[in-house]
Amino acid sequence: MDPIARWHEVVKTRDVAVMAALIADDATFESPVVHTPQVGKAITVKYLAGALQVLNNETFRYLGEWRAERSAVLEFACEIDGITVNGVDLIWWNEAGQITRFKVMIRPLKAINLLHRRMGELLAKA
């Protein structure tokens, strides 16, 4: 199955087990608020699961999708605490259809600051 179609299913169902199966063992996650890439399946799944909790509310929606051979850019928007969050997920995958790199970029600055606080609170509990 197409990894982006599988990703859309993860977002829809919030199924962390399905997400974990989609992530390669050597995956890298790049956060808009952490300065260094996070390397490895466990940390990538942890960050993505946290993002699903923080961002994936009733207002979350993908606005557009652009693809290359083994990569895609997905633009999204949502609202949290009255702040409109706009961002992109940049996703790369290997020949097996597993995600090898996931980069999130967010705007505006208010949204980055809000996401930093919310994700920090969530990950501190984990």
pLDDT in the model for residue 126: 65
pTM of the model: 0.93
CATH number of 3-125: 3.10.450.50
How far apart CA 52 and CA 89 sit, in angstroms, is: 12
For residue 69, which amino acid is it? Answer: E
Average pLDDT per consecutive 10 residues, the chain (126 residues; last block may be shorter): 95 95 98 91 95 94 97 98 97 97 96 91 79
Two structure tokens written together for 73? 């850019």
For residue 100, which amino acid is it? Answer: T
**5 contacts: CB under 8 Å, gap ≥ 6:** none
Domain ranges, ordered by start, for the chain: 3-125
